[in-house]
Amino acid sequence: MSAPAIPLGARLRRSPGLVGLKREGAVAPVLAFVLFFVIYVAINPELLTRFQLQTAANLVAPLALVALAQLLIVLVGGIDISVAAVMSLTNVVFATQLESASPLVAGVLAVAVGMGCGLFNGLLSAYGRLPVIAVTLASSFIFGALATEVLDRPGGAVSEGVTLATSGELAPYVPVALVWVLVAAALLWLLLQKTSLGRHIYGAGSNAEGMRAAGLNDRAAQLTAFVLAGGLVALGAILLAGSTATGDPKSGDPYLLNAIAAVALAGASFTGGRGSVVGTICAAAILGLVGNVLFFAGVDSYWQYVVGSVIIVAVVGIPVVVRRLSARVKGASA
């Protein structure tokens, strides 16, 4: 593609991957992740041992999947308050179904329930034309009530086999949870980038009017995003049930704000149409592991909340400040 005369730096800057990341606002979170990873390994080289890789993967995986689900909703221009409740619900459905059904059946059921929740939200938002945030606020009460109805206290029957299949090791140094996340992320990336449905999902968030004018169905795209998001949340809930070896009707609660925070950290636009799968995974890894890094650095782990929020505001805010300043400098020189 590039002529040999073009210097390496310029060629890199024009490479499709980097252009894509830039357009989707994911450069800052990817850089932040690289920096974060270097600091982590410098403080604690033990991360690269089998056991710690596995623990870290189990910590990050559910958040990454829920964050990907939230990303889908943010892409179509909404924000999903109900992810926490859907996560709790699918988590307890999976854990209780294991009492009688095989892990596969229980897993499929949980994903189906998750997609059903997505369908409910999606129908009301896309076809009922109600604001997404209000619909999902309402449904989070409903799904949360259903979760406690299914299982009112931590329990269920998560067997050792399930735990191994969701949070063990596929091969030495390859945590299963990481594989699940990467497979889901890769499929989602292919869907979003390489299929027309994926482009419609971006389009529904950035320019629904334009889509309709072009004769495309923005509502169907929005509905699909909701259903897929429900499935992703369920997958996250299954991994969480596996790694904690229990079902818990409150297990989703911490993920509500964290998933939104991860999507924000990923540089996604909350007005829709902009956001990246790669950036979201990087962001979830950062937020999921802040506590670990501080622990190994000998800092009170309560600092993780402070540091996490400062990272979010810094990574999201610094590009804004830089853009403003550079605009001002250019304006002054012009």
Query: According to the binding rule CB under 8 A, does residue 260 interact with other proteins?
Result: yes
Residue range at the interface with other proteins (CB under 8 A); choices 28-36, 40-48, 124-132, 156-164: 124-132
Query: According to the binding rule CB under 8 A, does residue 264 interact with other proteins?
Result: yes
Distance (Å, whole) CA 152 – CA 146: 10
In the complex, minimum distance from the CB of residue 145 to other proteins, in angstroms, rounded to a whole number: 4
Give me the sign of the Cα torsion angle 275, 281, 285, 287.
positive
Query: According to the binding rule CB under 8 A, does residue 139 interact with other proteins?
Result: yes
Distance (Å, whole) CA 272 – CA 106: 34
Query: According to the binding rule CB under 8 A, does residue 257 interact with other proteins?
Result: yes
Tokens of 266: 């990923």
Residue number, 54 or 219, with CB nearest to other proteins: 219
Q: Find the binder of other proteins among 55, 148, 163, 217 (CB under 8 A).
A: 148
Distance (Å, whole) CA 283 – CA 260: 11
Residue range at the interface with other proteins (CB under 8 A); choices 12-20, 92-100, 110-118, 140-148: 140-148
Query: According to the binding rule CB under 8 A, does residue 131 interact with other proteins?
Result: yes
Rg (CA), the chain: 21
Query: According to the binding rule CB under 8 A, does residue 295 interact with other proteins?
Result: no
Which residue reads 């600092």 in tokens? 303
Any idea of the CA torsion for 227, 232, 234, 238, to the nearest 10 degrees?
160
Residue range at the interface with other proteins (CB under 8 A); choices 24-32, 191-199, 231-239, 310-318: 310-318
Query: According to the binding rule CB under 8 A, does residue 245 interact with other proteins?
Result: no
**Closest residue by Cα to residue 252 from 59, 78, 66:** 66
Conformation bin of residue 298: beta by default, left when phi > 0, alpha when psi is -120 to 50: left
Using CB under 8 A as the criterion, which residues of the chain lie in contact with other proteins when the complex forms?
79, 81, 124, 128-131, 133-135, 137-142, 144-146, 148-149, 256-257, 260-261, 264, 270, 300, 302-310, 312-313, 316-317, 320-321
